[in-house]
């Protein structure tokens, strides 16, 4: 669970973390491999940001085989969920968020088949 509001907004101030959160708010749950594909970043960088978001209580993770999936923590305060939802809606057509969504849509072998070839 996020701490004080200022901590929550500090976490959101990083563009990589904001891009991850926007994708997750749209998609529900994503594998690390999907996030690296969508953002065009290396896995260690994405994993570092995901760890920070998980430690802050904003994200939850689950392991399925060798893959790790992330989703929003449903126990976030209502105000935090509204901030994330409205932010995702408000920036939907803006770069780089729109290209993240397109890159994700073009990803071959998304989870459900054989994730992260």
Q: Where are the domains of the chain?
A: 5-105
- What is the distance between the alpha carbons of residues 16 and 111, in angstroms, rounded to a whole number? 22
Q: How confident is the model at residue 77 (pLDDT cuts 50, 70, 90)?
A: very high
Q: How far is CA 43 from CA 19, 73, 98, in A?
A: 15, 22, 21
The residue-averaged pLDDT of 67-79 equals: 94
- What is the distance between the alpha carbons of residues 36 and 20, in angstroms, rounded to a whole number? 10
Domain 5-105 annotated CATH 1.10.10.10: yes
Q: Which two tokens stand for residue 116?
A: 């992260």
Res 114 pLDDT > 50: no
Maximal C-alpha separation, the chain: 40
Name beta bridge partners: 67: 64
pLDDT in the model for residue 110: 82
- What is the distance between the alpha carbons of residues 13 and 16, in angstroms, rounded to a whole number? 9
Res 117 pLDDT > 60: no
Q: Is 114 exposed, middle or buried (0-12, 13-18, 19+ CB in 10 A)?
A: exposed
């Amino acid at each position: 669970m996020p701490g004080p509001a200022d901590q929550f907004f500090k976490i959101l101030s990083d563009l990589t973390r904001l891009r991850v959160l926007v994708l997750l708010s749209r998609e529900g749950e994503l594998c690390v491999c999907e996030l690296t594909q969508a953002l065009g970043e290396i896995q260690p960088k994405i994993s570092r940001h995901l760890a920070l978001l998980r430690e802050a209580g904003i994200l939850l993770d689950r392991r399925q085989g060798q893959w790790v999936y992330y989703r929003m923590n449903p126990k976030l305060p209502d105000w935090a969920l509204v901030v994330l939802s409205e932010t995702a809606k408000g920036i939907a057509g803006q770069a780089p968020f729109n290209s993240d969504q397109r890159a994700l849509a073009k990803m071959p072998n998304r989870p459900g088949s054989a994730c992260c070839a």
